[in-house]
Structure formats: C-alpha cells, structure tokens
Amino acid sequence: MNLQNITLWGIVLCCVLTSQQSLAQASIQTDTLEIKVLTKKEPLPGASVYIQSLQKGGITDSNGIARIEDVPMGTYSISISFIGYEQIDQLITVPLGESLIFYLEENENALDAIVLKSTRSTRTIRKIPTRIEFIGAEELGEKVAMNASNIAMVLRESTGIQMQQTSLSSGNTNIRIQGLDGRYTQLLRDGFPLYSGFSSGLSILQIPPLDLKQFEIIKGSSSTLYGGGAIAGLVNMVSKTPEEDPQLDIMFTQTQALGSTGNVFYSQRSDRLGWTFYGSGNYQKAYDPEDDGFSNLPQTKSVTINPKLFYYPSEHTTVWFGVNGTYDDRKGGDIRKIEEGQNGIHQYTEENLSKRLSTQAVYETKIDTTQSLSVKNSVSYFDRNLEIPDLIFKGRQWNTFTEVTYQRQHTVTEWVLGANLYSASFDEDSQRTERDQNDVTYGVFANHIYDLSEHWILESGFRADYAQDWGFFPLPRVSLLYKVNTSFSSRIGGGLGYKIPDIFTEEAEFVNFREVQPIDKDALHAERSYGINLDFDYETRLSNTIKFSINQLFYITAIQEGLLLNTTATDMFQFENAQDDILSKGAETNIKFTYKDFRWFLNYALIDTRLNYLPGNPQKPLTARHNGGSVFMYESPSWRIGFETYYTGTQLLSNGIKTTDFVTMGVLGIRNFKWGSAFVNFENFTDRRQSRFSPLVAPPHNDPIFPEIYAPTDGFIFSAGIILKPFGNEHHHE
C-alpha cells in the first residue's frame, strides 16, 4: 500500500470516528426538572433548588415551583433550601418522569435561620464571609432583666467591648471596641445612623432594649458598609416588627438604689396594616453608695416613645414609618445641692438636659424572586444643654440620611448596589458660633458575594465617599469564608475606613468642652484606617449530651492621623492630627459548653492598643490589656438562672499610674409563668467599685476634681421586676 492510499484511508477513518462522536453527542438526552417545594402543604416561593455538580439551579416561583433546564441523564445530588428551614439533600435520577415534591420543615437550629440586616444580604449567618457577632432575642431577654433602662449591659458583656464612662456626675458612657475610642464605632438602628456626634456620649444611656429583637456586631473596619465612622466596627440594633398574632409586653423594674423603670411594647398586624408602639420611663434618685457627698448615679428622669406604622400593599412590598422621641434629664454631683439647692460649699452639679426626635421611613419591595429594591430616609434632631456652675454648653444637631439599595440574588451569587446622602449640622447656642459645623457626604457602594465552590465563599465590596471640605475616600473591603462542614469554618477579611473630625471626642467630653477650640478644616485631615481580622470556628459533640464550640479571633487595626486634643500655651484645647499611628491588635477567645439544660460560656480578650505617636509606644490609657469572663446558665421551660464572673486587668491612667485589676460577679434568676415572668438580679454583688481602690472625687468640695474612671462606680445593684404578657406569650411553663 503506497503513501497516497494510507493517507486516503486515514482521512476516511477520521471522518467515520468524527461522525460517530457527533452522533454519540447528539444522542445525549437532557431533561427539564420541575421541583415543587411545599411547607405544610403550602407553596414556598423563593426557595433555592441547586445541583452542585452541574452548578445549575433555580428559585421557586409563587406556586413553589422551580425549573432547571437542560439537565443531562444521570444521577445527581440536589439541594433544596430556604431561610429558617432544614435543608434537604437528596439523590435524584434524570429523567424524572414526573415532577418531584419536597416538604421543608422549620429549622430547630436558630443560628442557621438568622438573617443579618447589617450586611444588607439575604443570606444566613453561616453563609456570609464577613465575621458578625449575633445577640438574639433569648440573650436580649436576659440583659433586659439585668438593665431595663438602656443597652449598656448588652454591649458591656460582649468579648472585646468596653463601656467607658466619661463622667461620674452624668454617667456619660462611650462604647469601645477592641480598645478604640467610641467615635470609631458606628451605632445603627435598623440600618439608620442616629446616635453619633453631639449625642454620642449619652446615646448608650438613652436606648432602652425591650423593643429590640437582635444585635449585630461587626468588629474591624466597616466603613465600606455604611460610610465613615465605622473604623473600629459597627453595632446594628434591629427592632421588633408586627406579627399576625398580637404581642403585648409590660415590664416593671425596681432597684435598691431607688431606680424605677417601666416599659411597654405592643404590636399587631392585620391584612394590609401593622403597627408597633413602644414606651419607656425611668426615674433614678441620686445615689451615693460610699456616702462621700457626691452621686455615683445621677438623678434621672427619662421618657421614650416610639410608634411605627406598617403598610403592606402586596405580599412583596412593605412600607413603614416610625417616630422616636426621647426626653432625658440627668443631674449629678453634690447630693445636698441636688436635693436641697445651693448651700455654702454645696455648689457643684452637672446637668444634662436632652431632647431627641427622629423619623424613619422605609420602602421595600421584591421586584421578582431574584431582585429587590429599598429606599429609606431618616431625619434626626437632638437638643442638649450641659450645665455646671460656671459653664453652659448648649446646642442642636440635625442629621439626615437617605439611601437607595438594589439587590439581585442568584443561586451562587448576590449583588447589592446603592447610593446614599448623609448630612450633619451642629449649631452651638453661644456667642462663639465658630464651633458650629456642617458636613455633607455623598456615597455609592457595591457589595458582591460569590460561592466559589461548596467550601469557599468570597465577599468583596467597594464604597466611594465624597465629603465636602474633606475630600474623596475610596473604601475597598474583602472577606473569604472557608467551611468544611457544619463543624469547622474560618473567615479572613479586611478593609479601609475613615472618620471626619468633629469636637465630640471622649477627651472633650471629659473636660465638658471647656475651652475646646473649633475644628480647623484647613489644618486638620480626616482620620484613615486599615484593618484585618482572622477567625476560626469549631463545634462538635463530645458525647451524646455534651456540645462544645470555640471561636478564636485575631485582629489588627491601624489609625493614621488620629484626632488628638492637646493643650495650647494659653491653656486652651486644640485638635491636632497624630504624627504616627494608633495601632490596636489582639485576640479574642470564646468557648461554649452545652449539657442538657446547662450552658457554660468562657471568654478572653487580649487588647494591645499602642499610641505610636508617643515616646515608648505606651498602651492606651483606660484600656485593660487582659479581660476574661465566665457565664454559667441553667435553662428550662420554667427557669433561667445565670452566674457571671468578669475579670478586668490593670490599666494605665493618663498620668502613667497603673490601676489595680478587679473581678465582678452577678447572679440572675428568671421564673416563667403563664402570665409572663418574674426576675431578680444581683449585679456586682461583691460590690467592686472604684472608690474601694482610689477616690472618685478630689477637693475642693465646691469645685471638685474628678479623676478618670477605670472601674464600676455604682457598686452592687439589686433589682427585681416582672414582665406581663397578657397575650402573645411565647414562654413555656409548667
């Protein structure tokens, strides 16, 4: 056979093989799957149906039906999931012959069903790469019993969070996350930034917790999510919403320190309308446990009301409008002057009279099963009058916030796009109008979550903010989640942040804003930051009855050009930018054991916050390097009993003196009945307070000096109360 014939036969053979391969490919049959998802015989729209090996899926429509086209013949593992329901994983063989029906059951593990509002995502907590700490309704119920007047107790007992009191007389308190000042934490309510600027030192004390259903805490740079001010992190408080069954909670609390608090919450929803109403009142008599003549708790009269109206024009759309009003009068200092008026050397009092009025309006709609749109707006007015014998600091602050967000969700990816406008206007009621400040910030942002595989999920985001007088701030962030199974996961993430300067810092609060010079926009720069955190989460069963989990976090945050309040040659206070970084790094450990009706929580925080702009890079004053805690709980349908122990390590004062370390303990008991609950709380029953270690007040009596606060000032507080639930009672009882 010659070469020409060989070539000819080769060509013929190739053609035959190619045609056979084409015929074989053409013979591969595909099918369109029709999956119906029900819950208790009702269609479940919005459920996810997904085949991992083919990376194909669909979302159920209003009839609970999802269709997946062009599925080749074969056997596949299909997953059906929906928020709040147990996921189904089942093998199917294609062709089906008929549509399949799956019934989803409600998930008993609440953590899997949690949807976090602060990330703007519709994913559950286990599928979000951003590390978020969650405080749910159950734990909030315990904290409400411990302190019904404000949220300080909720935040104080979270690992790595410190509540820093800046005034003995008024009780002004700021939140510190991982050793960074309160101005670096953004406080949100339902996604609205309402509690910053002029009101920040009082905000923690003016937010009662009874109408809140969950807290979400993000530690580390979070400015990409909500703009400037979230360098240390953010706390988003999520309010209760009306359900079909009406709910009424009436709460009364009394302390041995003559503090009385009453709360009422009511909610109900009909077909198209719903409403909630919350009211709170608190009266505290001036309290002086060490009998030194000065109050450790100020005389307080506080009232809060918060009605909301909800309108549901369709099953896919919600419109709501809320109004929040607060009146708060705090007067502390010399007990004789508070009770009897000025007399001789009894002259010193500090009074904070504040009024807050804010509105929130929200429009949310689902365009279809994959797209949604929300528009929100808030207007906030805060009026405050701070008065001491020789100083009056008075002013008003207006804040507005408007945001439009578009969301698109697919099986393995999710996009959030948005734009917002934020304004803050402070007007001081004084001859010195130069301390007035007006700021306007425009922002656009995008956030993307993508399932790289079954084990890896990537989240990336970018925000671009333009602040008048301060410039342009590009803010990227990225987070990565790795999860092997339900037992182990790890997250790593980081981003940039910024904070526009204003005069409302902890240092300025400490001196009551006396002789504090205005912000010089020509000389100062905005603070900028970068941060990264890494955590590992593991949970397992040590036996059939013992569960164990541990979360280990490592973090680092650096602030460049930090805002400092320095003394001038003329004994004035002037703001300047630091010449070097503020560097906070450390670790947090959280361990949990569960045995039948018992739970044991252990936590430890290492907070190493260094002021690199000072010689020797000292630890930040009033920041304990070592903190630890233990909480032991017994829970049954009828009882909740808890024993808490917290350790605070040594701290440095601004003058370099080292403080003593100390331990506080508390016991809480809650008894559930058909009509509601009764509770008692022994807070700090070993009576650890700063006056046992060093004086809280220094002479002269008519013009006292108040040292820095590094330990509890009120000591042991015993409280008791009841929560009445005439209907909507979800408690179990004997």
Cis peptide before 95 (omega within 30 of 0): yes
| Euclidean distance between CA atoms 605 and 590, whole angstroms | 9
Query: For residues 185 and 235, is the Cβ–Cβ distance under 8 A?
Result: yes
pLDDT tens, residue by residue, 478-514: 999 999 877 899 999 999 999 999 999 999 998 999 9
Q: Please, are residues 708 and 731 in contact by the beta-carbon 8 Å criterion? A: no
Confidence band, pLDDT 50/70/90 cuts, at residue 607: very high
Phi and psi angles of residue 228, each rounded to the nearest 5 degrees, phi first? -60, 155
Question: Are 531 and 494 spatial neighbours (Cβ–Cβ below 8 Å)?
Answer: yes
Residue 25 has pLDDT above 50, yes or no: no
Over range 13-23, report the average pLDDT: 45
Which is nearest to 134 in space by CA: 111, 160, 163, 156? Answer: 111
- The pLDDT of residue 729 is above 70: no
Distance CA 410, CA 368 (A): 12
Secondary structure (DSSP) of 127-149? G-SS--EEE-HHHHHHHHHH-SS
d(CA 298, CA 510): 16
Phi, psi dihedral angles at 677 (to 5 degrees): -145, 155
How would DSSP label each residue in 345-405?
Answer: TB--EEEEEEEEEEEEEEEEEESSSSEEEEEEEEEEEEEEEEEETTEEEEEEEEEEEEEEE
Which pLDDT score, from 0 to 100, does residue 498 have? 95
> What is the structure's pLDDT at 84?
62
The rounded distance, in Å, linking the Cα atoms of 343 and 332 is 16
In whole angstroms, give the CA distance from residue 375 to residue 423. 17
- Strand, coil or helix: what is 64? coil
Pairing state between β 185-189 and 233-239: parallel
Q: Mean pLDDT over residues 610-629, rounded?
A: 96
**Distance between CA atoms of 376 and 368, rounded to whole angstroms?**
20
CA-CA distances (angstroms) from residue 660 to 158, 179, 623, 665? 22, 18, 12, 17
Query: Which pLDDT belongs to residue 113?
Result: 55
Helix, strand or coil, per DSSP, at residue 569 = coil
Q: What is the dihedral of CA 497, 183, 114, 671, to 10 degrees?
A: 160
pLDDT (0 to 100) of residue 563: 96
| pLDDT greater than 70 at residue 441 | yes
Model confidence pLDDT, tens digit, residues 310-343: 999 998 999 999 999 999 999 999 999 999 988 8
Compute the average pLDDT of residues 235-261: 94
- In the structure encoding, which two tokens stand for residue 102, read together? 């799956």
**Distances 655 to 40, 651, 652 between C-alpha atoms, Å:** 67, 11, 8
* b/e map 285-312, b = 16+ CB within 10 Å: bbbbbbeebbbbbbbbebebebebebeb
How does pLDDT run across 424-435, given as a tens digit for each residue?
A: 999 999 766 679
The one-letter amino acid at 631: V
Mention every residue, 6+ apart, whose C-beta is less than 8 A from residue 324.
194, 304, 305, 306, 356, 357, 358, 359, 360
Count CB-CB contacts under 10 A for residue 191.
21
Residue 543 has pLDDT above 90, yes or no: no
pLDDT of residue 201: 77
Residue 646 makes CB contacts below 8 A (sequence gap 6+) with 157, 627, 628, 629, 630, 663, 664, 665
The residues, any chain, with a CB within 8 Å of residue 23's CB and separated by 6 or more, are: none
pLDDT tier for residue 462 given thresholds of 50, 70 and 90: very high
Bond into 700 cis (ω within 30): yes
260-264, 280-284, 379-383, 541-545: the lowest-pLDDT one: 541-545
What is the C-alpha separation between 112 and 673, in angstroms, rounded?
29
Q: For a pLDDT cut of 90, what percent of the chain falls above it? A: 65
How does the average pLDDT of the chain come out, rounded?
Answer: 89
Cα–chain center distance at 112: 18
Place of tokens 């053609």: 15
Report the pLDDT value the prediction gives residue 554, as an integer from 0 to 100: 97
Contacts of 600 (CB under 8 A, 6+ apart): 592, 593, 594, 630, 631, 632, 633
Of 210, 194, 131, 223, nearest in space to 527 by CA: 223
Asked whether the beta carbons of 732 and 638 are under 8 A apart, the reply is yes
pLDDT at 20: 45
Q: pLDDT category, 14, cuts 50, 70, 90?
A: very low
Q: How far apart are CA 135 and CA 527, in angstroms?
A: 30
Collapsed DSSP state (helix, strand, coil) of residue 200: helix
Partner residues linked to 440 by β-bridges: 423
Residue 19 confidence (pLDDT) above 50: no
| pTM of structure | 0.83
Distance, CA of 715 to CA of 401 (rounded, Å): 40
The one-letter amino acid code at 412 reads: V
Q: What is the pLDDT of residue 26?
A: 41
Residue 631 vs residues 540, 546, 642, 644: alpha-carbon distances, Å: 20, 17, 7, 4
CA dist 653 and 325 (Å) reads: 37
Strands 30-39 and 676-683, how do they pair? unpaired
Token output for 269? 């929803």
pLDDT at 627: 97
Say what the alpha-carbon torsion angle 121, 127, 132, 137 is, to the nearest 10 degrees: 80
The answer to whether residues 287 and 257 touch, using CB atoms and an 8 Å cutoff, is: yes
Cβ 728 vs Cβ 276: under 8 Å: no
Helix (H) or strand (E) holding 156: helix 152-156
Percent composition of the chain: helix, strand, coil (DSSP 3-state, to 5): 10, 55, 35
Q: Contact at 8 Å (CB) between 179 and 586?
A: yes
